[in-house]
Amino acid sequence: MAKAGVIGAGSWGTALAILLCDNGHEVTLWSYKPQEAQQIQMEREHKSKLPGIRLPDSLQVSSDLEHSVKGMDVIVLAVPSTAVRMTAAKMKAFTAPGQIIVDVAKGIEEGTLMTLSEQICQEIPKAEVAVLSGPSHAEEVSRHLPTICVVGAKKKATAEYLQSMFMNKVFRVYTSPDMLGIEIGGALKNVIALAAGIADGLGYGDNTKAALITRGIAEITRLGTKMGGKSETFSGLTGMGDLIVTCASMHSRNRRAGILLGQGKTADEAMKEVNMVVEGVYSAKAAKKLAEEYDTDMPIVEQVNQVLFGGKDVKEAVEELMLRDGRIEHSSLPWEEA
């Protein structure tokens, strides 16, 4: 049994806290809102994030960050991507050398273009940082529906320790040394999911969705491999797998925000209506900057940015994507000699 502090009482943090309790670990779930922490602790339900899901009696809920971090074997950092650096900085005073911190959010910092694990390492250099990612909606994990994820870490022993800690009969975990590829796939799929949602909002069909998913993973792979990620990662759970579920499911806040954009709402209106952090909106600018920095063609990312921040009409954006110059699908494939 391990002691785990789950930092962030959103839907994903709460679902993982339930999972870890189910696996027999001693778990504390931290919320930055004292009133919310008290309510969850007393009612044994997170009514605003996971309504109808009973929390294990063993789960402790707290708004005391020191209590939730100090002395824990593992810290699961489950705050929104935009709050990762700030939260890590606050945690620093309570962490010990070599303490394992698992980031489970997905995003890229716009100003620095750093991944979330890089931000944590910068703020808490003494920590052992890992990531957990994959096609895993909190709503389904909390209901014990079969789910598969990947743990990425620099050290094999760390990845295998976390694998054993999280894995059970309904939550299978693979390991990978490619932390960068896992994080790039997780962040950029949210941008593509916005595009998929826009297509849904416009009333387009399955052909369009399949095209966006397929060409979306091509864009992610082009950029990710240039940055140092491995192509195998982008064809796996945290690349194609995560992209499929985020583009197809109504659990996906990015897809839901995209649907609203396709129906004519502004980005602000869409985020307000979804009423949760829409990570793709924050990752879109960073993705565009990375594409420019690594000289990578990412037309879907470009059009999403123009819709979000340039006031471009969504139908015009789709038309531009369709009318781009004709190209070969895989440039590495040879033709027969004429």
Residue 33 annotated as catalytic: no
Cα 96 to its chain centre, rounded Å, is 26
Tell me if 293 sits within 8 A of 113, measured CB to CB. Answer: yes
3-state percent breakdown (helix, strand, coil) of the chain, nearest 5: 55, 15, 35
* CB atoms closer than 10 angstroms to residue 70: 16
Choose the catalytic residue: 3, 70, 90, 189. 189
Which of 71, 44, 75 has the alpha carbon at shortest distance from 165?
Answer: 75
Taking CA atoms, 133 is separated from 44, 130, 150, 205, in Å, by 26, 10, 6, 28
Question: Phi/psi at 63 (nearest 5 deg)?
Answer: -110, 10
CB-count burial class (<10 Å; 0-12, 13-18, 19+) for 83: middle
What distance in Å separates the CA atoms of residue 69 and residue 92, rounded to the nearest whole number? 9
Q: Spell out a b/e string for 187-207, using b for 16 or more CB atoms within 10 Å of the CB, else e.
A: bbbbbbbbbbbbbbbbebeee
Catalytic residue annotation: 189
